[in-house]
Structure 1
Amino acid sequence: MIPRWLWFVALLLRIEVRGWNQLPRKTVRYSGVSEIRQSWHSGISHYLTMTLDENRGALYVGAREVIYMLDPNNIGKELRPPIVWEAPNERKIECVNKGRSNRTECFNYIRILQEFNDTHLFTCGTYAFQPKCAYIELSTFTLDSNNLEDGRGKCPYDPSTGHAGIVVDGALYSATLLNFLGTEPVIQRSVGQHNTLKTEYLATWLNGPNFVGSSHITESVGNELGDDDKIYFFFTERALEYDCYSEQVVSRVARVCKGDAGGARTLQRKWTSFLKARLVCSIPELQLHFNLLQAVYTLRTNHWRDTQFYAVFQALWGDVSVSAVCQYSIQDIQKVFDGSYKEYHEQAKKWGPYSDSVPSPRPGSCITDVHRRHGVTSSLELPDNTLNFAKTHPLMDDSVQPIHGRPLLVRKGVNFTTIAVHRTEGLQGELYDVLFIGTGNGWLNKAVRLGSSVHLIEELQMFDKPNPVHSLVLSRRMSFVFAGSPSGLVQLPFADCSKYRSCADCVLARDPFCAWNVNISRCVPSDEQYGDLLLQDVQASDTSICEVQYNKAVKPLSRNLTVAIGTNVVLPCELTSNLAQPVWTFNGRELSQEDNNSMLYDITLQALVILGVGVHHSGTYCCFSVEQGARFASERYQLGVVASPSLTLESRAPMDGLGLVWMMVIALGAVCLALFLAVLYLRRKLQDEMEKGSKSLENTLVYPIQLPSQPKMTKCLPSADSDEKLWDPSSFYYSDGSLKIVPGHALCQNSTGSSSPSGNGIPGQPLPSPPLHSPNHMLLSGVRGSSSNGYIRLTLGGGVGEERPPLGELNEELRWKLKQRQTLPDSNPEESSV
């Protein structure tokens, strides 16, 4: 049997070999992202919800306990004062008493913020694990916190729980967890004049789901069957139709009819039109399945039949994350819901397709003209056999396959979290879908769909610190993308064309938003009115359209390097893109590995490495970045190799050099001998002085330290208005005139106060008085814990009968302290002395 880890490695290699792991052409770090605008508010976090009203020119943002109305042209500008919607303290206390965190959970996180009608927004928040909903009046941008609605079934309790919600014709269609424990999932309709409906509490309907999105499709418009509009929900759940050795978590798409009114006797106040099917995103030949659905975006067109859904998935093999993007059509989803049902076969003890006759009218369908001709005008008039079948057969047998049968994009080592798509027109009139994909570490992947695959244009680091992108909103009028994360909000243009410095670079980007301006020799936004002066080729990226006069690339400056023989030289080469390959020339001739084994190109360093250079390596080195036949000059080096100075000296005057060396050796030897004799003399004299013992050795070391914070600490020098004196001025000096104490910045302590919690002394062991004659271990702890620039006298010896502290231990502590002080960024060299 093949080990699992070996199978995992082989799978990743197959992904690489087959080209599934796509690389972005450009990688732009946070410092290089231009035209970025940020909105940071002190104390505010979790920008989870955004709604853009381009008619009013307002961006509504829901964060933790606050709602903003921002200018979409500049998100740093607030159009109205923010709405502060906090959960009351008593609710937060109840939340904590129920075992929830008072740092991360017991707040009011805004999870729903949508347009309700022309005059109001509808919003819901977690409200410290007691969900509440309210209305916001747009004219004044105010929220009436005195008239709150119960948010159960509309908004999740937990801010980290997935949910979906959409307002359609004054009704909220929501998918969330109905109770505090999160054990009762529900898809329901509430708010407004419609009858409240919800899913049946059965594992066959919903089994531990995690909802990620919803969408309203107007299928009644221009429908020859007189069909109804539908609401689609996307989620993951634990599958029941597989045995314990197969996938347990799968992705789903479910639907309900907008006109559903529930059943008369069976399925009262329950959906009669609820159906669900598996959503597949996989690479069949690799047997690689992406089951963790993260987000779905609905790309709408002029007609609902052309509606497409873009979904991002995650998968985890070992410690490596793999993400994918799959595309689905509304018509493929319809075919699955019109197909056969799946049921559990008792005899075989397994799930399989339902093969018997299907009741009429068809279970799970909306009311159409066919129903009306048979006298059924409402779901309340459906017969019980149809409703009973719908109750026990909510799952479809077929699965929804992606367009082209495989993912559009796969990336290894990246976690996709959300997606938004914009359809734009190229210069030649073609339509392109541009994908904006947020990641778990705060990056934005930008790609363009080209048939059955995508070209990954670039990846941008939007936040200086890793933060997951929770929400993405696009402004088509202003060509902006807004990204929300736990730490802040970011605004970016659809494209930064200025980063492309030549015509070939601009064309190779294959960005529908950018084109090369022939007249001004610059890459500019393609929506600018230049006519035939713009060059662009998104489909083929053919750089031959860039004639010589159009491709005025800036030539790199030559860098002069002079090194000694035998040196290892590294010549960096910054490539124009991640898809480019380096080509080096030496004195105008292209280098190859066969030319010189001492030269190699290091992929990690992105540099040419020359090991042990010789004189023959002197010359001009040029690095070119080559991509699809286009060559860009990146770096130019003028390398000079000279002999070592010592070798030069010996070759010119070997005898003179030898005499000079001997003179230096003799001089250094004499100095070392003198220093050795001086050290012996001072050591012997110090020992003689210490052996006298008739009186204490009055030696003082001065060093910037802080006394330990202990009870009965000696006070600092009194202020001018105090009559208290700690020492007589004469006590500052010894009889020989040497300084005893140098006043500095030592901390003041009250002589009768209690010890500071942050003190350096040992808790429960007060410092003996006076502090300058404390035991050696207390003195050393004072030195070790010091962080100020105050000066204090350290007595190295004691009086008659006192135990003298070990001199070696104290010297070690002072040596350690000196080394530590040298590393402090704010230390004063003049004060750090002994």
Structure 2
Amino acid sequence: MWPDTAKSHQLSPPVSQYGAGISACSVVDGEYKSFTLQNVPGFTLWLLGCNHFRGAAVNYSTLLLEDGPGLLYVGAREAIYKLDTSNISDTSISLSLEWAASAEQKRQCLSKGKNNQTECYNHVRFLDRYNDTHMYTCGTHAFRPRCAYIDVARFTFVRFEEGKEKCPYDPTKGYTGFIIDGEMYSASQYEFRNIPDIRRNFPFPNLRTDNSPTSWLLDFVGSALLRESINSSIGDDDKLYFFFTERNTEPTAYSSQTKVARVARVCKGDIGGQRSLQRKWTSFLKARLVCAIPDYELYFNVFTFLRFTSHHSHFILFLTARRNVKMSAVCQYSFRDVQTAFDGPYMELQDTKWREYTGTVPEPRPGSCITDQHRALLINSSRDLPDNVLNFTQRHALMSRQIQPVGGRPVLLQRSADYTKIAVKQVVGLDGRVYDMLFIGTDEGWLHRAVKISDRVHIIEELQLFEEKQPINNMVISQKQNRIYVSAASGVVQVPLSSCERYTSCYDCVFARDPFCGWDGRACAEIAAYANRSSLIQDVQMGSRGCTNITSDGFVMHRTRAVMAGDDMLLQCEIRSNLATPHWTLNGQVMLGYGVDFGYRTGTDGLLIIGAQNQQSGHYRCYAVENGVWVPVRSYMVRVQPVPPPASHLSGSPTALPETMYISLVAVLGGLCLVLTVVLLYVSFCARNSPSARKYSQQALSITTATERKRSSHFELKTISSHCNGRTEGRSRAMSRDGEFLQIIPADIQTTPSKEPPPAPPLPMPPPLPASEYANGLSATLPSVLRKMNGNSYVLLRQTDSEMTSPLYHSFTEELNRILEKRKHTQLDIQPDESSV
């Protein structure tokens, strides 16, 4: 079974939904707020606590959060900002530090053929704390990287230095790095002609990855330190882990798989070899991470750690498939499995193919960190390692055992979405369980807020953070402020980790399955605000228990609708939860079946009654069914009115006038035909008496006949079919046959002007609606009684509503057109796939 995800679509304006829904932060009157669209026309504004920062710069890509003092440092293009985490919109206390490349450096960048709109700037790629008084930062500096020290107290630069070994030239290249214990580690493709590698930049001795026989590294996505020396019984060393994508070189189950995900490990205490691998990593090993679904193996886009404080830590990785498919997945791995892979067999390159090495492994084990076992052999550092061990490590850096995800599959799979960033926070629910909250950014500026329940992920809601589509660059979570800070090209947004007040009922609150929220009997509130939580209701595991079952529709909207017999009617029912399905009842009986034979069609937006009959009058109720719970949404009282008898007087009939006009027109044309026949006979008679006249008349007759034949092919009398309400097409067919006599009239014959202009030709029948255009949540094709007029507009005859003066009234055309406009990017799916957005 695939992960429990929501199927959602961006609407205009954005919609807030319960269960799994859509919301948005938008600027309103200078404040950052969220739009919420209710079932009734109009909008309600809810203050979500969203704050926005946008300085003079663009491309806000680097975030450094210092939760203690409440500061957020933001690296952008040619600027660094210092913001207050309580309110990043407060410009009175924010500081900025400009750091632009010189005009001369930009000219040199342009002379190298680089883009002066994007590349020939100083993009801040690295920003971290160096010590108690200073920060360290690096930027691309118009394709000539520079680094600098920043005085934290004064927020000024104090020293600049060369950065080409610490920062990539290209602002789009994958890059990761951090400073730990005064040591800087980074991984990237530094110079644009170099192979990417992992480096220790300072202090001395500097280390880098040994040159590989093949260009294996492609793109780094993340790195982290795991403290394994603390309370170690074997005197183990701390280890650094780097996550990246590389070209596939070993056999794979998917022949077209060209890229794979890797994790590499180096020891923090590694200082290189004495003779072999001088100033190179002696402990570098790498292993393959597998995150596969049928027909696809995914590779890295970005990653984050979930827990990394013990030997049994877990981390979550985010991977993306890009083989002509827009798809993302989240896989979770255990460090115990990672250690098992690095302790397993090695791979060896034999005749240009990688195979598992089955020979003798030297001692001490190649690629391992210095432990008490090494010290017992008088090997106190990597420089004391034997050359045979170093040579083996150099040729056998790839491990044979692949690392499978926890559970053997992704915990989340999302189609039609490219994930760009992820952040994780652990929350304790009312049931005492620890839940992993996932905050996932997309390439279009959306934030998916989700919770991991057992072995699957439930998406609680989707937040549209930016008006324009843009990838989310970075995210950090403030434990102190209970906020998440999200950066993109246009700015930084401060969003609360939860917004319980948006859920307006017990079912809204419980269906959301949000570990932050609980129902207190009157409102949905954060459980952290309650010292006594015994009265709160929450059900993260099932999302259905605790609320009183609703069986009546006393709290829903009631409407009265009337329709003429034989016509169609749409009863709208907007289901706010993407995980709920609509169910209808008529006079208390569940409506089963689907299609014309049953007289109605159901969809995600409403119930379409087809060719209404008297027995279809009654009380209709729409329910949102989720997790086995029926929640009433709308109620309709429908009356089917009989068709009034047609008028008996011919002049009063709406079809009498057109038929009279057609008969008159045929009579006039018949007279013209008679005159033309006489003229032709006269010409023929004259031709018999005069040879020259006979020759001329024959040519004229030939030309006239040819012209008439050619032009008559463009004349065709068409009429509008009148089978809209069950009428026959006999009249239409008769008129088409009569129209054959009209085709003999040339277009350029000059006749005596009539006092009245001739009637306009009837409009042709509109083409049938293709299935691809029909995406309004109803059926695959519309009934014949509907008429497509312009684009997605439809008309239906003789539909009335007793509430036409009510602001809730919408004609069938308006309702259906609004649904089509809202769903125009949605593919029809009667049974929505919960694994897709």
1:115 and 2:126 are equivalent in the alignment = no
Show the counterpart of 1:310: 316
Show the counterpart of 2:229: 220
- C-alpha deviations, 1:244-297, integer Å up to 9, x for none? 9453211110011111111111111111111111111113xx35311x201111
Say if 2:3 and 2:456, in contact at 8 Å, map to a contact too.
no
CA 272–665 in structure 1, closer or farther in 2 if over 3 Å, else same: closer
Cα distance, 1:630 vs structure 2: 1.3
Q: For 1:664 and 1:269, how far apart are their aligned partners in 2?
A: 99
Alignment of 1:96-107 (within 5 A): 96-107=110-121
**Given the alignment, which residue of 404, 413, 416 partners 2:419?**
416
Matched letter for residue 241 of structure 2: Y
Alignment of 1:69-84 (within 5 A): 69-78=82-91, 79-84=93-98
**Given the alignment, which residue of 475, 482, 497 partners 2:478?**
475
- Provide the TM-score with structure 2 as the length reference: 0.71
Q: For 2:246 and 2:567, how far apart are their aligned partners in 1?
A: 61
- C-alpha deviations, 1:57-100, integer Å up to 9, x for none? 01111111111111222221243321111111111111111011
**Given the alignment, which residue of 297, 301, 307 partners 1:300?**
307
Show the counterpart of 1:557: 557
Say if 1:153 and 1:176, in contact at 8 Å, map to a contact too.
no
Show the counterpart of 1:50: 63
Give 3-state SS (helix, strand or coil) of 1:531's partner: coil
Cα distance, 1:596 vs structure 2: 7.5
Give 3-state SS (helix, strand or coil) of 1:35's partner: strand
Say if 2:21 and 2:460, in contact at 8 Å, map to a contact too.
no
Matched letter for residue 629 of structure 1: G
Say if 1:126 and 1:156, in contact at 8 Å, map to a contact too.
yes
**Given the alignment, which residue of 193, 196, 199 partners 1:185?**
196
1:238 and 2:247 are equivalent in the alignment = yes
Q: For 2:326 and 2:99, how far apart are their aligned partners in 1?
A: 37
Matched letter for residue 111 of structure 2: N
Show the counterpart of 1:631: 630
User: How many residue pairs end up in the alignment?
Assistant: 630
Show the counterpart of 1:344: 349
**Given the alignment, which residue of 416, 437, 441 partners 1:438?**
441
1:323 and 2:336 are equivalent in the alignment = no
Matched letter for residue 393 of structure 2: A
Cα distance, 1:110 vs structure 2: 1.0
- C-alpha deviations, 1:792-816, integer Å up to 9, x for none? xxxxxxxxxxxxxxxxxxxxxxxxx
Cα distance, 1:179 vs structure 2: 1.4
Show the counterpart of 1:620: 619
Cα distance, 1:427 vs structure 2: 1.2
Say if 1:585 and 1:621, in contact at 8 Å, map to a contact too.
yes
Show the counterpart of 1:737: none
Show the counterpart of 1:588: 588
CA 177–552 in structure 1, closer or farther in 2 if over 3 Å, else same: farther
Say if 1:38 and 1:488, in contact at 8 Å, map to a contact too.
no
Show the counterpart of 1:288: 296
Show the counterpart of 2:142: 128
Alignment of 1:503-652 (within 5 A): 503-518=506-521, 521-529=522-530, 530-543=532-545, 545-547=546-548, 555-593=555-593, 597=597, 599-603=599-603, 606-643=605-642, 647=644, 650=646
Show the counterpart of 1:67: 80
Q: For 2:451 and 2:81, how far apart are their aligned partners in 1?
A: 32
Q: For 1:163 and 1:223, how far apart are their aligned partners in 2?
A: 31
- C-alpha deviations, 1:385-439, integer Å up to 9, x for none? 1111111111111111111111111111111111111111111221111111111
- Provide the TM-score with structure 1 as the length reference: 0.71
Say if 1:65 and 1:110, in contact at 8 Å, map to a contact too.
yes
Say if 1:153 and 1:175, in contact at 8 Å, map to a contact too.
no
CA 109–207 in structure 1, closer or farther in 2 if over 3 Å, else same: same
Q: For 1:92 and 1:478, how far apart are their aligned partners in 2?
A: 40
1:495 and 2:505 are equivalent in the alignment = no
Q: For 1:39 and 1:131, how far apart are their aligned partners in 2?
A: 30
- C-alpha deviations, 1:3-39, integer Å up to 9, x for none? xxxxxxxxxxxxxxx5358325422143438515243
Q: For 1:246 and 1:194, how far apart are their aligned partners in 2?
A: 43
- C-alpha deviations, 1:605-636, integer Å up to 9, x for none? 52111123244433332211011221111112
Show the counterpart of 1:677: none
Greater relative CO, 1 or 2 (CA 8 Å, sep 6+) = 2
Matched letter for residue 632 of structure 2: A
1:377 and 2:389 are equivalent in the alignment = no
Say if 1:446 and 1:458, in contact at 8 Å, map to a contact too.
yes
Point out the more displaced range, 323-332 or 559-568: 559-568
Q: For 2:552 and 2:101, how far apart are their aligned partners in 1?
A: 61
Q: For 1:271 and 1:135, how far apart are their aligned partners in 2?
A: 27
Alignment of 1:199-214 (within 5 A): 199-203=209-213, 207-214=216-223
Say if 2:21 and 2:576, in contact at 8 Å, map to a contact too.
no
Q: For 2:72 and 2:379, how far apart are their aligned partners in 1?
A: 44
- C-alpha deviations, 1:346-377, integer Å up to 9, x for none? 4xx52111222212222111111111111111
Cα distance, 1:450 vs structure 2: 2.0
Matched letter for residue 496 of structure 2: P
Give 3-state SS (helix, strand or coil) of 2:438's partner: strand
Give 3-state SS (helix, strand or coil) of 2:534's partner: helix
Say if 1:242 and 1:248, in contact at 8 Å, map to a contact too.
no
Say if 1:241 and 1:351, in contact at 8 Å, map to a contact too.
yes
Give 3-state SS (helix, strand or coil) of 2:383's partner: helix
1:28 and 2:38 are equivalent in the alignment = no
**Given the alignment, which residue of 421, 429, 433 partners 2:432?**
429
Say if 1:367 and 1:378, in contact at 8 Å, map to a contact too.
yes
Say if 1:61 and 1:69, in contact at 8 Å, map to a contact too.
yes
**Given the alignment, which residue of 88, 99, 107 partners 1:93?**
107
Say if 1:295 and 1:417, in contact at 8 Å, map to a contact too.
yes
Cα distance, 1:534 vs structure 2: 0.7
Segments of 5+ residues of structure 1 without an aligned counterpart are 1-17, 670-834
Say if 1:323 and 1:415, in contact at 8 Å, map to a contact too.
yes
Say if 2:411 and 2:455, in contact at 8 Å, map to a contact too.
yes
Give 3-state SS (helix, strand or coil) of 1:441's partner: coil
Q: For 1:137 and 1:257, how far apart are their aligned partners in 2?
A: 31
Show the counterpart of 2:263: 253
Give 3-state SS (helix, strand or coil) of 1:188's partner: strand
CA 26–663 in structure 1, closer or farther in 2 if over 3 Å, else same: closer
Q: For 2:179 and 2:315, how far apart are their aligned partners in 1?
A: 19
Show the counterpart of 1:807: none
CA 40–512 in structure 1, closer or farther in 2 if over 3 Å, else same: same
- C-alpha deviations, 1:316-339, integer Å up to 9, x for none? 354x31211100112211111111
Percent sequence identity over aligned pairs? 41
CA 207–661 in structure 1, closer or farther in 2 if over 3 Å, else same: closer
Matched letter for residue 580 of structure 1: A
Show the counterpart of 1:709: none
Q: For 1:252 and 1:281, how far apart are their aligned partners in 2?
A: 11
Matched letter for residue 301 of structure 2: Q
